[in-house]
Amino acid sequence: MRPHSASGPGVWKGALLSGCTLILSAFLSSCSVGSTSADGGPPQAATAMITFCDDGVPDCPPVTTFSLSQMRDLVVKVDWFGVAPGNHTQEVRVMLPEGTALQVSDTGFLIGPESDSSFSSLQSVRMAGSWQAQRQETGTWSVDVLLDGRTVKSETVEMTP
């Protein structure tokens, strides 16, 4: 008696069909992972909101105009929304009116896979007794916020004497 073997044209066609189906389903499922938003549309880009306050004022309420002679520290708060999971680097550039950088700071952070994709940070720029206050570096200062080397948001703040 001859042992039973699984060979022949019918078996090969079935194996080939099963293999193609497996590869196709893996491909289609990998295409959908992370490529759409919750509503089925394309993924949203990260957005940022920048606010400013003087930490010498109780509760540090957000404002956009400051007096150099009266403020202690300029606090820059950055709130991130819609950041993809993974490791990221935030860069905050505080620029004087003539375009030179007063302070540049980097902050690394991680957005976990189960996170709500948000992150907040505070940067403080010393003003009391600084040369900016002494030299009355008044005018419109700008703050640029970058995520992973790409500018996401820019805001201005007014400095008065």
In the chain, where the domains are located = 47-160
For the stretch 2-23, pLDDT in tens is 544 445 555 434 443 344 333 3
Which residues have C-beta within 8 Å of that of residue 110, sequence separation ≥ 6?
A: 86, 87, 88
C-alpha 80/C-alpha 157 separation (Å) is 19
Fold type of domain 47-160: Immunoglobulin-like (2.60.40)
pLDDT surpasses 70 at 70? yes
* Residue 44: predicted pLDDT: 67
pLDDT band (50, 70, 90) for residue 121:
very high
* Averaged pLDDT for residues 97-118: 93
CB atoms within 10 A of CB 37: 10
C-alpha 93/C-alpha 150 separation (Å) is 12
